[in-house]
Amino acid sequence: MATFILRRLVVSFFVLLAATFVVYVLVANAGDPRTALLESTDPSRDAKIAALTENLDLDTPVVPRYFGWLGGVAQCFVGQCDLGTNINGAPVTGLLSVALGSTLRLVLFATVMAILFGVIVGIVTALRQYSGLDYSTTFLAFLFFSLPAFWIAVLLKQFLAIKFNSWLSDPVIPLWLTIVLAALGGLLAMALIGGDRRQRMISLVGGAAVVAAVCVYLDVSKWFAQPGIGPVVMIVGSLAAAVGATALLSGFRYRRVLIATLITAVVGIICSFSLGWLLDISTAGTIIILAIVTLAVSGAIGALVGGVLRSQAVKACMITGFLSGALIFADRLLQAVTGYSDKVRGILIATIGSNTPNFSGDFWETTLDQLGHLLLPSIVIVLISFATYTRYTRSSMLETMNQDYVRTARAKGLTERTVVVRHAFRNAMIPVTTLMAIDFGAVIGGAVITETVFGWQGMGRLFTDALRIPDPNPVMGFFLVTGTAVVVFNMIVDILYGVLDPRIRTA
Amino acid sequence: MKRTSRGAGPIALALSTAALVVVAGCTTSGGGDTTTTSSSTSGSASGTTSDSSGSGGGSADTTITYAAEQDFYAYNTFTVDGNATANQTVLNQVLRGFSYVDNEGAVQMDTEFGTIEKTSDDPLTVQYTFADDARWSDGEPIGCADFLLTWAAGSGYYNKDGSANTGGRTAESENLFDSASTTGLDQTEKPTCADGDKTVTLTYKVPYVDWNVAIGTSAGGSFMPAHVAAEQAGTDTAGLVAAFESDDAAVLTPVAEFWNTGWSLNPDQGLPDASLIPSSGPFLISAWDPGQSITLTANPEWWGTPPASNTVVMRFIDQSQQVSALQSGEVDVIEPQANPDSLAALDALGAAVDVQTGPLFTYEHLDLNVNTGMANEQLREAFFNCVPRQQIVDNLIKPSQPDAEVLQSLMLQPTQPGYDELAAGAGFENYNEVDLDAARAAFAASGAAQGTTVRIIHIDPNPRRTNQVALIKASCDQVGFNIQDTPLASDAFGAARASGDYDVALFAWAGSGLYGSISAQYASAGAGGEQNTAGWSDPAVDAAFAAVNSSTDTSGVVDQLLIVDKALADNFWSIPLFAFPGLVASNADVSGVQLNAGQTQATWNMQEWARN
Amino acid sequence: MTTEKDQISGKPAGPVGSAPAGTPAPGGRPSEAAQGMAVVARSQGQLVRRRFLRHRAAMASIAVLFIVVVLAFSSIGFLGIPGWWKYSYDAAGTVVNRGAPTLSVVPTWLGGNGFSIGEHPFGQDDLGRDYFALTMRGTQISLLIALVVGVVSTVVGTVIGALSGYYRGMVETVLMRFTDVIITIPVLVIAAVLGQKYGNGGPFVLALVVAAVTWTSLARLVRGEFLSQREKEFVEAARALGAKPRRIIFRHILPNTVGVITVAATLSVATAILLETALSYLGFGVRAPDTSLGLLVSTYQNAFTTRPWLFWWPGLFIVAIALCVNFIGDGLRDAFDPRQNRVRA
């Protein structure tokens, strides 16, 4: 294995080297960065042309110029990167680090969300193959995949941001919206729960009724003017998390797991009523500490109470703890909305930029500010890349569900939960995992259109802006980072294959 | 749509200007020469709102947000690298000077900053006097040292090795200071003054028409804080003045090094220390979030009229996204691309926003090459008669700027004083509408064969130009031409135009409001017409330009330019089409925003922006 | 496999089409001998055809796609053959009523104007050109690009994948490392360079550019298939009988990988349409005066709220084509994978 990895490393290095050369030559042939100046009659023309020629070394033929650039890159190994300057004379390293930071914040978050949603929806549709839900998610996934990104962006800006923000100043839920939402909720419930005709009708009506009730409650209680989760939802939510985690991980046959998660939920509820003062003075650091403490305490409860199924109890308790912690966090965050809204003149959901300029507020308000700016671009990215994950997960899941070992597991009399979670799911995730690895390699490249439309100065924008001029050094800087990421992640995929599936010979 | 007035200002000021900067649809060469301010002596309808308030009243504690297209990257806009619209937009009201070009293209004196006085015509001598309390935002007085530093950079007086260049002008790349331009100042004697002096006198070796914007204008030759550069070079202003006096290379070389690169920003490191970037205007730069926004706040040391609002935030937003940002309330002032859709979208917002449209200094035109396909005068006449100028404006410009008109002069732009006189006299208006009969007659007289191919080159991709050629083709092909649309990539276009390899060239020149080098485009190739690749040559035109360029008094300039415009029309050399449409929109509760026809963007008068 | 189709470092790929490096797409395997048990006495081809014909979404998609193709090519004509529509896509005219579409489908009893096509059913653009004709021209170009990309990238990808999978050794090393290099090069760089050199090469050149970067995933897929197939007994047998490599590749192995290739090819068509849209948005795609759906949509992206028809019509066709092709690919993949056939036929 070691020699295999080593060989892959060496090969990858040379692949990257060859690719940089090709790209360098291509970019050099894409046009002359002095073009605009050649036509200028501005008095500064000659000086600018001379300066640019010198800065970018344009009088040198392409091949030696490439090696000059490579020399600068080689200095990275001694911590002195020199990737040249752009046509304005700004060092590329600085531009890259700003762009990379911006892209990672934007695309990473969105990709994680897309994976999460995609995998969950993929599994559900695989378990309900050829159902109405399956068809409609397939249709929606392809539809979102086919929509141009800026199209979705424009729609979101118009309706989710501008209209929503102005609606918030007088939050009345109109009747037609309640009806539409209720109908959608009913249909979703019906599709998810399934069953025979009678059961489906019950689900439909029940789902619609619940959604309608929630809408009416939110409207009557003026919830949107003073948002928060409230003690009832907090208690119900935490207990539901406990039951859900138990159902997913161990089932109810062995009571101690359920008892453990319920204890965790109760502890969470008590904390939510007693620790408000702590949250008021929180910073990002204390929140992380609280999260760790929460997980540790939940784990401990699971370990103490879990009995025979200790390891499952620990996991279930940690999930319960995490979820009820998340509820507490969300509640506190929502309570900060009113104050935040006043500070930003009611623009809760931003349409542009990565933060409100010069915004100052406590931890909760700055978090809201970040989230408000992340929301729309993340939705765009999630909607578009969600299709890939759903489809992959679905077909991978279907494939494993038809494997002999799954049939064997069923034949043994294992519950459907055990079959799905323990036998099928894990194996189905092997190809999806490699897809994720490749995807993360591509994440670094940023999302050109989303970044432009939402005003994020990310990698994609850096690259396309430079390529249009064409400004060689930023393009090369971009390529160096993204090319490395692609090569590295491809390599990881190849290695992963060898590790995950021993049948695949490592060629 | 309030820009109605033009030419109301004193003609003397109005005429002094116009250095044309070519552009072929691109903004990177922006810059030009300009600046800003409130204290206008002009009677032009726009731009003097804050005069009445006088000094004394403080700034309102309000924030106005402006959407800028590009990020800021250099504090010194007079360097080769820093000379760009992106930086000028930010620095309009941070670095002030003696004069500026206003939003209509007229030169205005900034009397708050100081005064310029011409004391002699022969030799041309100009006396500069800084306001008594003129000082940087760190308290350091503005005076002799600052003047000398900018003069040293802008005159090309020092060579790379630090030696003084007392003889003729050397190549700009050989200069110690990497200044964007040395035009004008390279023809001046080295000024002398003592550290702390508030008055400096500049003497020209030859007359220079744009003397009143030669130095101390925010774009191009703004005054940079000499005490900062001196300190970075290990000396002080007195030492610096002495070094200029004695041409001391040992001191000047590090000063120039800092001047060249020390004010360039690295997004990685954020805003430089406040002491490095003091302000000489109503605003100072207080924060920078690279790629996101830059914040300007009122300069407490500013001695003139305080800005109406104490904070202006500039957010960097792609032009296509600015309308929705205005709608959502995240910005107050935007300059989106003027197109039918942005205008319609803004109009749909109704009373919530104020919208202004108007012509910019950039103008589209057709150059007919007399060395190639358009050598025959009758053929050119036929072409003049079949170009659907009115239709082009109606179809392509009016949807973006409802009051757009066909451009009638190649010398001056519609907002500039003197334009009406040129428009009436030049004779281009005879060709507003297509006259197919006249065109056919001239075509027949030329003896050209039916289907004579005429190549119209233009830069691609640019849908509007493609559309213009389509309209010209539809009309001129009826006369007997075979118009061949020849879209070229920008470098191929540059090469074709430079070598004269075209029949007709469709492109734009971007004016800065200064006259400086109109002659480069239209004089004979032998008489300074470096950009004249179409082979036009007329002694009367050359004489007119000689008179313009050497006058120290601008009152006769329009008459000379009329000679040029008339020659271009009578010889069927070049056809003006339209001025590019401009668009600025602001939140209805923000007042004082005005469309700027030049390159310095709407921020030219941001000190007057107020929230009602 | 990219998170977003406008991503520029990777090659945008269909949502289900291209598998990660070196593995067959899950569920996309061609059927193997074992599945023959399900239905007796039908050939593999017949099975696949039957299953495909029963895939309702795919069938509907084929119908829609067929209508789109016929509409696009018959309305304004092609290659000099005149069509039945009265306007040409490049004839400027007078803009009437801001160019609003005259198509009316709301019947009179609902308060509409009844069904009528009117002068300019899809409206007019800035120049007064008929937008229906423009949209049809854009559809033609987009379909052509998609077709060329589909064919070229499939052929190139299959050949390279097959050669390296079959011969292994040096051949594989060289070809696969070459593939790796191509995979890392951003498509935009190639598009920008070729756009500069052959600025007016037209849609065909653009299609070749797109094809030049989209074959890589298929090559890896096919190589993976060949790696596993070449070890199978029937290949062993063929070799033992003295069959030449050429015969083994084309007659024995290739037919067994046709499922993977077909699915990937359909999806590369969908990818090509979306990639062309992204390229046009960034200014590296088809250039005026010719047009494509992507170019129309991106030219009028800001017309969204003011002249929505300029945006919606070409957008509708992009989505329709992309959706149809994706569903057809989905149907093919289900058809080639017999195990997914169990629930409901």
Give residue-wise pLDDT tens across range B80-92. 888 888 888 999 9
* C-alpha B96, offset from chain centre: 16
Chain A: nearest CA to B310, how far in angstroms?
A: 14
Name, of A40-49, C40-49, C138-147, the range with top average pLDDT. C138-147
Q: Which residues of A touch C185 (CB under 8 A)?
A: 19, 22-23, 26, 479, 483
Distance (Å, rounded) from C-alpha C83 to C-alpha C15? 36
Strand partners for B117 = B127
Amino acid at C126: D
pLDDT of residue C29: 40
Regions of chain A with pLDDT less than 50 = 505-507
Amino acid letter at B391? Q
B396 and C126 within 8 Å at the Cβ level: the answer is yes
Report if residue A391 sits inside a domain: no
Neighbours of chain A (3+ CB pairs under 8 A): B, C
- The answer to whether B345 contacts C288, with C-beta atoms less than 8 Å apart, is no
From chain B, pick out residues whose CB is under 8 angstroms from the CB of C305: 341, 345, 348
Residue C343 in domain: no
Q: Between helices A425-443 and A472-500, what is the axis angle to 10°?
A: 160
Inform me whether the pLDDT recorded for C345 exceeds 60.
no
3-state secondary structure B371-431: CCCCCCHHHHHHHHHHCCHHHHHHHHHCCCCCCCCCCCCCCCCCCCCCHHHHHHHHCHHHH
* A427 lies within 8 A of chain C by CB: no
The DSSP letter of residue B434 is: -
Which residues numbered 144-163 in A keep a CB inside 8 Å of some CB on C? 145-151, 154, 158
What per-residue confidence (pLDDT) applies to C341? 45
Of residues B520 and B14, more confidence is placed in: B520
Question: Which tens digits make up the pLDDT trace of B495-511?
Answer: 788 888 899 999 888 77
- Beta strands at B199-203 and B124-130: parallel, antiparallel or unpaired: antiparallel
Interface test with B, best of C96, C97, C127 (most B CBs within 10 A): C127
Q: Lowest-confidence range among A235-239, B58-62, B121-125, B293-297?
A: B58-62
Q: Which of B180-189, B513-522, C19-28 has the lowest mean pLDDT?
A: C19-28
Instruction: Report whether B125 contacts B315 (CB < 8 A).
Output: no
Q: Which of B133, B242, B121, B232 shows the shortest CA–CA distance to B192?
A: B242
Alpha-carbon span B72 to B94, nearest angstrom: 13
Are B489 and C288 in contact (CB < 8 Å)? no
The confidence band for C112, taking pLDDT boundaries of 50, 70 and 90, is: low
Q: Which domain holds residue C297?
A: 45-77+136-336
Q: What is the pLDDT of residue B39?
A: 31
CATH code at C170? 1.10.3720.10
**What single DSSP character describes residue A426?**
H
What mean pLDDT, rounded, does chain B reach?
A: 83
Residue A94, chain B, CB below 8 Å: the answer is yes
The number of CA neighbours under 13 Å toward the Cβ of B404 is: 30
pLDDT digits (tens, 9 = 90+) for C238-261: 888 888 888 888 888 887 777 778
Domain count, chain C: 1
Q: What number of C-beta contacts closer than 8 Å exist between B and C?
A: 60
Cα–Cα dist B191/B364, whole Å? 41
| CB < 8 Å to A31, chain B | 489-491
Dihedral pair phi/psi, residue C242, rounded to 5°: 90, 20
pLDDT of residue C205: 80
A166 in contact with C, Cβ within 8 Å? no
- Nearest residue in C to B472, CA atom: C92
b/e string for C71-92 if b means 16 or more Cβ within 10 A?
A: bbbebbbeeeeebebebebbeb
Q: Please state, in angstroms and as integers, the Cα–Cα distance from residue A496 to each residue in A244, B292, B295, C306, following that order.
A: 32, 39, 49, 51
Size of interface A-B (CB pairs under 8 A): 188
Q: Does A199 touch chain C (CB under 8 A)?
A: no
pLDDT given for residue B49 in this prediction: 35
Interface with chain C: mutation pick from B326, B341, B483, highest number of C CBs within 10 Å: B341
Q: Looking at the complex, does the CB of residue A385 fall below 8 Å from at least one CB of chain C? A: yes
Contacts of A43 in chain B (CB under 8 A): 19, 180-183, 516-517
Cα distance between residue A140 and residue A384, in whole Å: 10
Q: Which of B81, B175, B267 sits opposite A95 (nearest CB)?
A: B267
Tell me the pLDDT band of B364, cut-offs 50, 70 and 90. very high
**Does residue A82 sit within a domain?**
no
Q: Please report the pLDDT score of residue C4 as a whole number.
A: 40
Give the residue with greater pLDDT, A224 vs B29: A224
Q: Mark yes or no for CB contact C305/A107 under 8 Å.
A: no
Which residues does chain B have within 8 Å of residue A456's beta carbon, measured at their own beta carbons? 291
Residues in chain B with CB shorter than 8 Å from the CB of C196 are 489
- Are residues C299 and B463, on separate chains, in Cβ contact within 8 Å? yes
Confidence of residue C36 (pLDDT cuts 50, 70, 90): very low
Q: Do B328 and A355 touch (CB under 8 A)?
A: no
Per-residue pLDDT for B2 more than 60? no
Residues 39-68 of A with CB under 8 A from B: 39-48, 50-51, 54
Q: How many domains does chain A have?
A: 1
Q: What is the pLDDT of residues C210-226, one digit of tens each?
A: 888 888 888 888 888 88
Q: Assess A138–C contact: CB distance below 8 Å, yes or no.
A: yes
Give B56's pLDDT tier (boundaries 50, 70, 90): very low
Residue B203: which H helix or E strand, with range?
strand B199-203
pLDDT value for C228: 77
Structure tokens at B464: 């509007």
Nearest-Cα distance to chain C for B506, in Å, is 16
The pLDDT confidence band at residue B77, using thresholds 50, 70 and 90, is confident
Per-residue model confidence (pLDDT) at position B382: 94
Instruction: State the pLDDT confidence band at C40, using cuts at 50, 70 and 90.
Output: low
In this prediction, residues B167-180 reach a mean pLDDT of 72
How do beta strands B353-368 and B452-459 pair? unpaired
pTM score > 0.90 for this model? Answer: no
Its domain, for residue A190, covers: 172-221
Please indicate whether, in this complex, the C-beta atoms of C184 and A483 are within 8 angstroms of each other: yes
- Confidence (pLDDT) at B52: 36
Q: Which of B342, B467, B485, B490 to mutate to test the interface with C (most CBs of C within 10 A)?
A: B467
Strands (E), B49-121: 60-68, 99-101, 107-109, 114-121
In this prediction, residue B12 carries a pLDDT of: 29
* The pLDDT of residue B126: 93
In the A/C pair of chains, how many CB contacts fall below 8 A?
234
Going by pLDDT thresholds of 50, 70 and 90, the confidence category of residue B55 is very low
Q: What is the spatial distance between Cα C291 and Cα C303, in angstroms, rounded to a whole number?
A: 17
Whether C37 maps to a domain, the answer reads no
Residue B29: the pLDDT is 31
What's the mean pLDDT in C119-141?
Answer: 83
Return the pLDDT at C19.
38
Q: What is the pLDDT of residue B113?
A: 92
Q: What is the pLDDT of residues B8-17, one digit of tens each?
A: 333 222 223 3
Give domain status of residue A212, yes or no. yes
Q: Which residue of B has its CA nearest to C127?
A: B395
A25 in a domain, yes or no? no
Residue C316 lies in a domain: yes
Per cent of chain B over pLDDT 90 is 43
Q: Is C25 part of any domain?
A: no
**What would the pLDDT profile of B183-224 be if each residue is shown by its tens digit?**
788 888 899 898 888 999 999 988 888 888 888 876 567 899
- pLDDT exceeds cutoff 60 at B53: no
Question: Would you state the pLDDT for residue C12?
Answer: 38
- Judging contacts by C-beta atoms under 8 Å, the chain A residues touching residue B269 are 94
- CA-based nearest distance C140→chain B, Å: 20
Tell which C residues from 298 to 317 touch B, by Cβ distance under 8 Å. 299-303, 305-307
Q: Which residue of C has its CA nearest to B399?
A: C126
Write out pLDDT tens, residues B536-568. 999 999 999 888 888 887 778 889 999 999 999
Which among A467, A489, A500 is the top mutation candidate for probing chain C, defined by the most C β-carbons within 10 Å of its own β-carbon? A467
Write down which chains contact chain C via at least 3 CB pairs under 8 A. A, B
**pLDDT for residue C26 is more than 70:** no
Q: Is position C19 within any domain?
A: no
Partners of residue C326 in chain A, C-beta under 8 Å: 142, 145-146
Contacts of A31 in chain C (CB under 8 A): 192, 196
* pLDDT of res. B243: 92
In a domain, C8, yes or no: no
The more confident residue out of B437 and A461 is B437
Q: How far is B395 from chain C (nearest CA, A)?
A: 6
C45 touches chain B (CB under 8 A): no
Alpha-carbon dihedral angle through residues B300, B304, B306, B311, given to the nearest 10 degrees:
-60
A169 touches chain B (CB under 8 A): no
| A355 Cβ under 8 Å from any chain C Cβ | no
Q: What percent of chain B has pLDDT over 70?
A: 88
**3-class SS of residue B158:** strand
Supply the pLDDT for residue B183: 79
What pLDDT is recorded for position A502? 59
What are the percentages of helix, strand and coil residues in chain C, rounded to 5? Answer: 65, 0, 35
pLDDT mean over B122-143: 92
User: Could you tell me the pLDDT band of residue B141, with boundaries at 50, 70 and 90?
Assistant: very high
Contact assignment for B342 to C303 by CB distance below 8 Å: no
Which residues, at least 6 apart from A420, have a Cβ–Cβ distance to it below 8 Å?
A123, A127
Confidence of residue B463 (pLDDT cuts 50, 70, 90): confident
What is the per-residue pLDDT for B94? 93
Q: Find the closest chain B residue to A373 by CA distance.
A: B330
pLDDT at C33 over 80: no
Residue B410 pLDDT > 70: yes
| Distance separating alpha carbons of residues B118 and B127, to the nearest angstrom | 6
Of A32, A88, A102, nearest to B81 by CB-CB distance is A88
A69 interfacial to chain B (CB closer than 8 Å): no
ipTM of the complex: 0.82
Query: What is the reported pLDDT for C291?
Result: 83
Residue B399 at interface with chain C, using a CB cutoff of 8 Å:
yes
Residue in B339, B395, B492 closest to C95 by CB: B395
Please spell the DSSP secondary structure of A48-86, one letter per residue. HHHHHHHHTTTTS-HHHHHHHHHHHHHGGGGT-----B-
